[in-house]
């Protein structure tokens, strides 16, 4: 398998995992987060960028759109993502950013 196919398969698995674990009421909620650090990985033309950030505060949960702001590091900036998942550990991941 090529690396881009592997990345797409991994991304699809994460989306399914997060989507299945959400209650229906949270599935359409959006969010806004400010995070101290994070990374950005290009997943291809269809998916766009995947953001993983830590040290996050903010609100929202589910797979809806989100604004993720990273305040430090090489990927500092503001990103709008088509879907996201937040954890109780202060991390947020976003797809389609």
pLDDT band at 64, cuts 50/70/90?
confident
Closest C-alpha to 54, from 15, 10, 93:
93
pLDDT of 22 strictly over 80: no
Percentage of the chain exceeding pLDDT 70: 68
Q: Which residues of 41-59 are buried (b: 16+ CB within 10 A; e: fewer)?
A: eebeeebbbbbbbeebebe
pLDDT band at 26, cuts 50/70/90?
very low
């Amino acid at each position: 398998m090529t690396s881009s196919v592997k990345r797409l398969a991994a991304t699809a698995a994460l989306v399914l995992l997060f989507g299945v674990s959400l209650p229906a009421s949270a599935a359409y909620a959006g969010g806004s987060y400010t995070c101290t650090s994070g990374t950005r990985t290009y997943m291809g033309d269809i998916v766009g960028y995947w953001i993983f950030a830590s040290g996050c505060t903010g609100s929202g949960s589910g797979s809806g759109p989100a604004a993720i702001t990273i305040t430090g590091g090489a990927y500092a900036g503001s990103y709008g993502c088509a879907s996201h998942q937040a954890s109780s550990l202060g991390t947020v991941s976003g797809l389609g950013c």
